Amino acid sequence: MLLLLDTEVTMNHRQYEQHVKQLRALVERRLSSLVRHNGPNDLYDACRYVIFGGGKRVRSTLVILACEAVGGKSAVAVSAGAAVELMHNFTLVHDDVMDNARSRRGKPTVHTKWDVNNALLVGDVLLGLAYQCLFETTNGDVRRMADVFTSGLVDVCEGQALDLEFERAKNVLLEDYFTMIEKKTGGLIAMSAELGGLVGGGSGRQVTALRRFGHFLGRAFQLQDDLLDVVANVKEFGKTIGGDIVKGKKTFLLLKAMERARAKDKRILHRATTSARLPEGKRTITAKEQRAVAAVTAIYKRYGVIESAKAHVRRDTSSAIKALAVLPETSARAMLQWYSELLVRRVS
């Protein structure tokens, strides 16, 4: 039985939380020491603004937990973890420019607070800092680590390119959607787990298993993000509910509903998702948009696509956890399981 029993979760929950908190503190300290103070002001002010803008450090936590799950010490994975966070922040800054997003984590985006040019450079230099940080890792095969890290970068660019293509495309298949999220979201998550395995000195088989774990977890994570757009409450989620619908984003829910819906409902979906766009980060939507969100959500419910998405999340999470069976049965592995379930437990 690989899924954690509820009693076990309760038992270790506090200890796990404490440990994750400590790991996060290590990463924060590493990041603080990194961004130099003597470079061009706008550039490094904005870097600090992004890096310390309140991320949850999910990816660095995965790197370190994966390292521990193959028997490595957490300390050796801190630089690699920080490197992944920097790469993640690079993607956020550039994506926000591409999406015309005005706010992130409740604050103005870099190109809103400074300008597009600075946002471009901030993204670029964050990537440079990410590589610098990665190469401070002294454990593991540096060439393999660099390859894995760089594949993550290429994946994330390809995923974002597909996402942009889908915005313009008329017919996007669910299959295409999965390819996109596997690269855009899954790319960094899979890379984080694999990198942790490498830094921790895992065997080839263990590292492959960790990549597989990350692949499924990344998929579940993104599907769940799609779900949260319609089922979460604003306070918890921190984004506008129905934002994806108003923006006409081709999420799993929309594509699945399009696949299943009858002609009349298809037209409603089509109309609702091709009307005026909501700029990202805008928190209030108009009454008309609210009606569209309600209509689309009703269709989602009628055709059972919300249930389908939940089933997908459960299945992918379970596949992720199954992949970990290759690793030794330690509390570190249990913690990695616990953390992944925590990540996708925002809806259930």
Alpha helices in 185-284 (DSSP H): 186-199, 204-231, 234-237, 243-247, 252-260, 263-274
Residues 6+ apart with CB under 8 A from 2: 321, 322, 324, 325, 337
Nearer to a copy of itself, 142 or 294 (CB): 142
In angstroms, what is the minimal distance from the CB of 316 to a copy of itself? 24
Nearer to a copy of itself, 98 or 174 (CB): 98
User: In this structure, how many other beta carbons lie within 10 angstroms of the beta carbon of residue 267?
Assistant: 11
In angstroms, what is the minimal distance from the CB of 163 to a copy of itself? 9
Nearer to a copy of itself, 97 or 293 (CB): 97
CA gap 207, 339 in Å, rounded = 18
Between vectors from CA 163 to CA 229 and to CA 154, what angle results, nearest 5°? Answer: 120
Nearer to a copy of itself, 146 or 294 (CB): 146
CA gap 342, 224 in Å, rounded = 12
Nearer to a copy of itself, 249 or 270 (CB): 249
Site residues (vs a copy of itself, CB under 8 A): 39-43, 90, 94, 97-98, 116-118, 120-121, 123-125, 127-129, 131-132, 135, 142-143, 146-147, 149-151, 153-154, 157-158, 160-162, 164-165
In angstroms, what is the minimal distance from the CB of 115 to a copy of itself? 9
Sign of torsion over alpha carbons 225, 228, 229, 230: positive
Sign of torsion over alpha carbons 102, 107, 110, 115: positive
In angstroms, what is the minimal distance from the CB of 207 to a copy of itself? 17
In angstroms, what is the minimal distance from the CB of 160 to a copy of itself? 6
CB 1 within 8 A of CB 336: no
Nearer to a copy of itself, 68 or 85 (CB): 85
In angstroms, what is the minimal distance from the CB of 158 to a copy of itself? 5
CB 310 within 8 A of CB 348: yes
